Every structure is written in structure tokens, then in C-alpha cells.
Amino acid sequence: MAGNIGPAVGCAGSVLWMQGEGEANVFQRGLKKAFEPLRELGYVGMIDLNTIVTDEGVFGIEWTPRIGYDGTCNLTRLLPVDFGEFMWRVASNKPIPQLTPRDSFCASIVLSIPPYPMHGTPKMYREGVPILGLTTDKLESFFARDVRTEENNEDRFETAGVDGWIGSVLACGPTIHDAYSSAYEMVKSLKIADMMYRNDLEPTLVKRYLELREGGWLKTSYGKV
């Protein structure tokens, strides 16, 4: 548990940026190898390839052809065009407009309550837990997952009782530090009984980002941390 408030589980948060012109080495030696087989299958859509990167190369460990992680929501906050239009153009093989990102980085923090991440356990207090501080105007900065409106008040939110993974706070900024500073400020504005989240995401992700960049896997000219 990070600071006794967040379990050490996968998908605890993400930081995303748009590469811009040119291709990063990690992309060329990883996901790009799948392009031809995907074209032959006629596949159009999102691809998530989780990898281990070492001095010897890029090794895929999980292949996920679907939309569903908060990383996709991070992308929608950076794209300068409507996400629906973007996906339609990709699916229809239409020209893509100039995709200059709206910001440099988008960071996310997963919020959850017990018994997440356990499965097959009693529901405990998952359903109907008030999500105080989350308002309709804040949904632009929130990826809602285990969330519903209260029965008699559509302006108030509560947990829906799916699995305890409530959703993710999203924030953009010119650096990873700026993005995460804004994200954690929003987390502080929310009050949820037994809320869990990692409070050590920024230093962990900055370390990995710098290792990839300094190792030649990313475009060295892109972004400050």
C-alpha cells in the first residue's frame, strides 16, 4: 500500500503523450511488427501492447485489441479533434487532420474502494457509496467506470456496485509533473469512504520515461518531465 492508501496492482494510473512526427524506436521494434498481420485481418481500432523493454529489445507480454483502459481517455484529452470523428476517419480510411496535441502529457490516477482488486468476494460496501465532490462539470476530467447517479438526484454520484474500480482522474499539463500535480489536486477534492489510490505514480512514471528516453527508445527531442 502506497502511504497506506493504495494497493500495488497493475493499471493504477497512466501517463500518455502523442509522439508527433516520426517513429520512436520502442514503436518500431514493438507494435509496428504487428501492422501487416492486422492489415491482412482487416482490423481497425485500438491496440494496447504491454511490453518489457530491455537492452536486448522489446518483448510483448499482453495484447489487448479493445477500448477500455483509462489510457484511451487520456488520448481523448490530447487529441485536437473529436474522438468519435477521429475513430470514424480511421475506420473509413479517410484523411486524418493535423493532430497537434492540445497539451504535452495527460496523466491519470485510478480510484477504487475495497474489495477491489479482489474478485469473487462479498460486495461489502461497494454499491451506493457516495462519491462526494464529483460534479457534472468535473466529468470532463474523470473517466467514470463503477459510477451511477443517485436515484433521486442526477447531480450526485455514487458507486454502482460493479467491482470497486470507481474510475480515473484525468489531468493534462506541459510536463508529467504538472499533469500529476493537477490530477492529485482533483483527488483531494473528492471524498469517498475507503477510497484507495497510488500516491507514488509521478516519480515511478518519470523514472521509466527517462530510462526509455535516455536509452534511445523514445524521441529524445520530445517533452520535458
Domain-located, residue 42 = no
146 in Cβ contact with 165 (< 8 Å): yes
Domain-located, residue 55 = no
Q: How many domains, in total, are found in the chain?
A: 1
Long-range Cβ contacts of 116-119 (<8 Å, 24+ apart): 116/163, 116/164, 116/165, 116/196, 117/7, 117/9, 117/164, 117/165, 119/163
Residue 219 has pLDDT above 70, yes or no: yes
Confidence of residue 76 (pLDDT cuts 50, 70, 90): very high
Span 165-199, pLDDT tens digits: 999 999 999 999 999 999 999 999 999 999 999 99
Q: Domain containing 103: what range?
A: 7-20+67-214
Can you give the pLDDT at residue 123?
60
Domain-located, residue 113 = yes
Residue 220 has pLDDT above 70, yes or no: no
Question: pTM of the full predicted structure?
Answer: 0.89
What percent of the chain is predicted at pLDDT more than 70? Answer: 95
Domain-located, residue 60 = no
Domain-located, residue 133 = yes
Average pLDDT of the chain is 88
- CATH code of residue 136: 3.90.600.10
Span 110-154, pLDDT tens digits: 999 988 888 766 666 578 999 999 999 999 999 999 999 998 888
Can you give the pLDDT at residue 121?
65
Domain-located, residue 1 = no
